[in-house]
């Protein structure tokens, strides 16, 4: 049994589980403070509008995240080809008003947290 475990450990230790990200990718967390008890409904609405987000020029990824101990916060993790693409996207959302229906779910404005990787 020890031999099998040692072989498995050696095999796994030689596999790199991290990839080197492309330097040009911009990453952002959009943080939403949600009304108590409204998180599930808010997430359902987010999934409906994220179809357009993912289709927007320059969007590489947009996923919804929560923390099991914080029932009133929702994050969207986004990756963009350039920061300008995300800024244009937010401007487009504001001009169309197609996210106004999310307002009643929130306790305040979203926070935009640009991420910087440190290696």
Integer-rounded Cα radius of gyration of the chain:
19
- pTM higher than 0.95: no
The rounded mean pLDDT for the chain is 85
Quote the pLDDT of residue 105: 98
Domains and CATH numbers, the chain: 24-115 (3.30.70.100)
Nearest Cα neighbor of 62 from 85, 91, 94 is 85
How buried is 68 (Cβ within 10 angstroms: 0-12 exposed, 13-18 middle, 19+ buried)?
Answer: exposed
- Please tell me whether residue 43 adopts helix, strand or coil conformation: helix
Q: What tens digit of pLDDT does each residue of 45-102 get? A: 999 999 999 999 999 999 999 999 999 999 999 999 999 999 999 999 999 999 999 9
Quote the pLDDT of residue 24: 83
């Amino acid at each position: 049994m020890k031999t099998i475990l040692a072989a498995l450990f050696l095999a796994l230790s030689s596999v790199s589980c991290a990839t080197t990200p492309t330097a040009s990718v911009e990453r952002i967390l959009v943080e939403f403070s949600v009304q108590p008890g409204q998180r599930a409904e808010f997430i359902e609405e987010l999934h409906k509008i994220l179809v357009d987000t993912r289709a927007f020029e320059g969007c590489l990824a947009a996923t919804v995240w929560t923390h099991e101990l914080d029932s009133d916060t929702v994050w969207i993790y986004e990756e963009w080809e350039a920061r300008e693409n995300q800024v244009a996207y937010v401007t487009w959302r504001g001009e169309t008003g197609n996210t106004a229906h999310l307002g009643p779910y929130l306790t305040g404005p979203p926070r935009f947290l640009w991420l910087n990787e440190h290696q």
